[in-house]
Each structure stands twice: as structure tokens, then as C-alpha cells.
Amino acid sequence: MRAASVSDFREMARRRLPHIFFEYIDGGSYAEVTLRRNVADLEEIALRQLVMRDMTKLDMTVETLGQTLNMPVGLAPVGMAGMYAHRGETQASRAAAAAGVPFCLSTVGVCSIEEVAATGTPPWFQLYMLKDRGYMRELLGRAKAAGSPVLVFTVDLPLPGARYRDSRSGFTGSTPLRAALTQLRDGITHPAWTWDLFVHGRPHTLGSVAGAVTESRRVTDFLAWIARNFDRSVTWKDLDWVREVWDGPIVVKGVLDPADARDAVKAGAQGLVVSNHGGRQLDGVLSSITALPRIVDAVGDDLEVYMDGGVRSGLDVLKALALGAKACFVGRPWAWALGAGGEKQVARMLEILRAELAVAMVLTGCTSVRDAGRSLLDRP
């Protein structure tokens, strides 16, 4: 099957991946209301079609935080991508670099910051505020030494949301025996994935935090360590501590309210990501695209505003730009593509987004993404 859209990658990943890993990528929290809103609210926005313009030249480049992006898209941090394809984060990083867009490495990635940086393009690095400040300081030092240009500081996960699909699939809450039986069954029923992951993809640890977890080597034990170390006491003042260790740009990820956006400006952040964690945390909150315009209006040009959540096409990217986003970060689309077939499919997914964005620009009369504004939208 040759994928023609992001939804095709989802189906290809569903077929190839073990059930527990597909559900981990695909699912949200609780009843998944916000997960559905992220997609549905973007679908409801109408672009304004304009014709008979000279659209010979299109400019998709964006300047942000000292970097030039070939298009206003980045790969958002996705946990455990190295379980979807062998050394998954490195494969995705290479595809992003070839497309000229940023790749953001999750704290809970299978590949370490050093391994991903060794591909030739250091990733943006995503980090949670952890109780263990000593280890957090070490992680920031490693990211800096690896050449990471941007720190993405996720603030909407003081504790993990309740994700029913993970519980039902046995990904979380399983006894060691059940986990072993599930792994055996998955290996037998998904031979291509097993060959890829267990012959070429080891070690299966969370590379950036492996040194902090000594009691076990299973991926689920690393996730449990991370969950125990989320710091619920964190406030905006803690960004001062981060700034003592990190002297590069800081992007705050997980903002949905204008008041929080203004606090991010006061705290000295250089950017923020309007995000509800892909519908994986507090269910029932606003979709990212609905929250975006108010946040843009609240902060103006004081920092860079990005968005993630629900982006499934290049048309969605243009809609977000029209409402004030500097760029969109996609998570599930690249995770599905990676699960469908590794680096080649991630590259294909980015090609599809670029082609769809080009069509949207031509048929709305938008020659440069930097000029995208609300005039591109057709409102009742």
C-alpha cells in the first residue's frame, strides 16, 4: 500500500504494530473527547478559495528561533518511538533533517540525545520538570553538549492522565506474567515488527533516562520512574532554575489559556506550544485550534506561538497559520508513519504535508506562509 494521506499511515501502522503499541500511539485520555475535538474543530474551519492569482512562486520557509524551516512543520516529541521501528527516533530525525524541519526528541524516547544528535542534526529536546533536579540538570547538560538548539519544556503533565486504552490493552497495570505473555503473543503475530525491533532495534530502554533507573530494564519500568518523578509543585518561578542551566531558547509546551500564555512571556520563554498533549491529559478541554487565536491575541509578538493537536493535513497547517501559529508540530502523523515503515514512510508523510500545503496556498492566493492571516478563512 502506498500512503496518500495521513490516515493511510494510521491504517498501515495498525496492521504492522502490536496492539499495545498502536493503542499507545492512537489513544487519548478518558472518553477521548478532546482527542476528537482536536481533529473535528480543524475540519470545521473553512478556507476561503480565491482564484485567478499568479501563484507561480510559493514560499513555505519560516524563520524561527534562529533557524530556517523549509516549511512551517515540525515533528513533535513522541514517547517510545523506538518501539515502533528500530531506533525510531534516529530514523525520524533523519527524515526531518532531509525535509528541513525540526525534530523534537522526547525525554521518554528509546534513543538517547547523544544517539539522535549523532545523525548529524541535533534535535530540539523536550523535558519535563522532574523532582530529581540533579538528574534534570544532568539531562540539560547532555542536551547542551549534544548541540540541541531549543529546549521544549512540557508543563501540562504534573501527573499522567488516565488512558483507558492502555489499561485495556495491558500496556499499563499488567503483572509481569501478563506482560511477558503479551510480548510473546505480539512477537508471534507480528513477525516483521519482531524482526525489526528485536534483531536491529535493541536496547529497548529510554536512552536519556537509562542512568537513573537501576532496578529494572523494561520500558514500562522507565515510564513508571518518570511518572513517579513528575513534580506537581512546579511553578513559573522554576523556569528561573532552568535558565541557570540552559542558556538557549526555551519553548513552553502545553498552554491552552491566555493567562498562562502571558505568564510564559513574563517568565522569559522565547516560545510556546498551544497544546492539550494530543488529548492525552485533561479530557474535555478546548481543542488546540480553538484555543490558538485567543493566545495569539494575548501575547502578540512577545514570543513565538506554535500549535500541535489534530493536524492531519497540509490544509490544517494553513488553517493554523491563518489563526496566528508560526508553525505546527505533528505527533501522531509521524508516529503512525514510523510504525508503518520507518524513515522512508516518515519522509513520505512530510512530502504529503508539503504537497497539501502547496495546494491550499495556491487555491487561497497565499504566496508566502509568512503572510498567512485570518483573511484566508471563510467565516459565516
Which domains occur in the chain, in start order? 6-367 (3.20.20.70)
Whole-number Å distance between alpha carbons of 317 and 232: 33
Report residue 132's pLDDT band, with 50, 70 and 90 as the boundaries.
Answer: confident
pLDDT at 216 over 60: no
CA distances from 263 to 154, 239, 252 (A): 15, 11, 11
pLDDT tens for residues 85-107? Answer: 999 999 999 999 999 999 999 99
Question: 86, 104, 4: which is closest to 341 by C-alpha?
Answer: 86
pLDDT tens for residues 110-125? Answer: 999 999 999 999 999 9
Q: Maximum distance among all alpha carbons in the chain?
A: 66
Report residue 369's pLDDT band, with 50, 70 and 90 as the boundaries.
Answer: very high
Whole-number Å distance between alpha carbons of 129 and 229: 8
- DSSP string of 206-265? -TTTGGG--S---HHHHHHHHHHHB-TT--TTHHHHHHHH--S-EEEEEE-SHHHHHHHH
Whole-number Å distance between alpha carbons of 25 and 23: 5
CB–CB of 379/69 below 8 Å? Answer: no
Give residue for cell 530540539: 124
pLDDT tens for residues 283-338? Answer: 999 999 999 999 999 998 999 999 999 999 999 999 999 999 999 999 999 999 99
Whole-number Å distance between alpha carbons of 346 and 350: 6
pLDDT at 380 over 60: no
At residue 226, what are phi and psi to the nearest 5 degrees? -60, -45
Catalytic residue among 19, 86, 190, 277: 277
Question: At a CB cut-off of 8 Å and minimum separation 6, what does 36 contact?
Answer: 279
277 is a catalytic site residue: yes
pLDDT at 206 over 90: no
CB–CB of 364/313 below 8 Å? Answer: no
* Strand runs labelled E in 113-244: 124-128, 151-154
Report residue 188's pLDDT band, with 50, 70 and 90 as the boundaries.
Answer: confident
CB–CB of 101/71 below 8 Å? Answer: yes
Exposure on the CB side of residue 344, measured as CA atoms within 13 A: 4
pLDDT at 13 over 70: yes
Which H or E element spans position 101? none
Whole-number Å distance between alpha carbons of 62 and 114: 27
pLDDT at 68 over 90: yes
pLDDT at 214 over 70: no
Whole-number Å distance between alpha carbons of 275 and 256: 6
Give residue for cell 489559556: 257
